[in-house]
Amino acid sequence: MKKEPFRLGIVPADAYRERRKAPGYDWVKSIIVCAFPYRQAKAQGRYLPARFGYGSDYHAVLSAKLEEVARTRGLSRYEILVDRSAFDEKLLAWLAGLGFLGRNTLLITPEFGSYVVIGTILTDHVFPEYSRPLEASCGECDLCVKKCPSSALAGGFNRESCLSFLTQVASEDFPRYDLLKDAYYGCDICQEVCPHNRGKDEYLREFEFSDDSVLTLAEMESLNRKTFQEKFKNKNFAWIGYLKMLRNIIVLEANNNNINIKKIEYFQKLHADAPWFYRHMEYLKKRLKNGAQ
């Protein structure tokens, strides 16, 4: 049986505390950090999430795998954290020697490139040996900076300009949404152009692409807030909710010339109780009316 691909490193908690505060975690002596790969060939279909949304929700997947790590290590007191925590996961991953922080602000690992999701185990266990940070960098390469369509990496990372961030929030920076082309959740552009990701194609089987990752406007129209959550409860994009996902799909349809003003107006009236959604639909109507694509 093939061994599952992932990287593991261990950080003394004090090494983290020297750089960041960690209130409420005085009991923690060590932090186990794991990076799990998810890169696979780009799927076909309209519309899709970024690759980290192709398969099962990584929060649940990593939680289960980290429980197994804790069990095999014989830990007694521990706490598993995936994504949502008071700890800086990327800093921990660097301290654990899993990779370096790239110009695209992502962790870049030697084995899997930047297509990894990170999980941590806090524990009171003291280990005989700890990992050391990896000394590496992007060098002079700035492909991700040049290729980012929203210039989110120019002069440092601007989260509010990042297309991945915009797909997850109710922002009213409407013109930036015009840059979306095929991804309704997340964005892989800065990873797709990164030289460190060439030839990297390992991923956990739980992250393998599933057909329910393809979303259409017709399907969104058949759903509502409740049924959306029920249908996609095992997907990591479910948390953004029905209305933001509907907004994303409508924007993509408009950006690809697949929707008319009448249809946008239909959804605008249907969800007029959400001011941000109403205003975004109004923006799209004016844009289409003026012929600006």
pLDDT for 2 equals 58
SS3 for 99?
A: coil
pLDDT for 292 equals 52
**Is residue 157 domain-resident?**
no
pLDDT for 293 equals 43
Nearest residue to 120 (alpha-carbon basis) of 179, 155, 69, 76: 69
Q: How far apart are CA 205 and CA 228, in angstroms?
A: 25
Q: How far apart are CA 131 and CA 136, in angstroms?
A: 15
Same-domain pairing of 118 and 224: no
**Selected catalytic residue, list 26, 57, 83, 142:** 83
Q: Are strands 7-12 and 48-49 parallel, antiparallel or unpaired?
A: unpaired
**Is residue 135 domain-resident?**
no
Q: Is 14 a catalytic residue?
A: no
Domain boundary among 106, 123, 140: 123
Nearest-10 crossing angle of helices 242-255, 275-289: 10
Domain boundary among 63, 90, 123: 123
pLDDT tens profile 148-201: 999 999 989 999 999 999 999 999 999 999 999 999 999 999 999 999 999 999
Residue range of the domain that includes 288: 215-293
**191 contacts 197 by C-beta, under 8 angstroms:** yes
SS3 for 278?
A: helix
DSSP-derived secondary structure for 8-38: EEEEEHHHHHTTS--TT-TT--EEEEEEEEB
**Is residue 181 domain-resident?**
no
pTM: 0.93
**Is residue 130 domain-resident?**
no
**Is residue 147 domain-resident?**
no
In this structure, the dihedral spanned by the alpha carbons of residues 141, 147, 148 and 153, taken in order and rounded to 10 degrees, is: 20
pLDDT tens profile 95-141: 999 999 999 999 999 999 999 999 999 999 999 999 999 998 999 99
Residues 6+ apart with CB under 8 A from 264: 250, 254, 281, 284, 285, 288
pLDDT for 4 equals 83
Domain boundary among 84, 104, 123: 123
pLDDT for 84 equals 83
Question: Over the chain, what is the mean pLDDT?
Answer: 96
**Is residue 164 domain-resident?**
no
C-alpha triplet 180, 171, 153: angle, nearest 5°? 60
Same-domain pairing of 114 and 220: no
Same-domain pairing of 113 and 13: yes
Same-domain pairing of 220 and 114: no
Whether the predicted pLDDT of 247 surpasses 90: yes
**Is residue 149 domain-resident?**
no
Break the chain down into helix, strand, coil percent, rounded to 5.
40, 15, 45
SS3 for 42?
A: coil
Q: Please state the domain count of the chain.
A: 2
**Is residue 62 domain-resident?**
yes
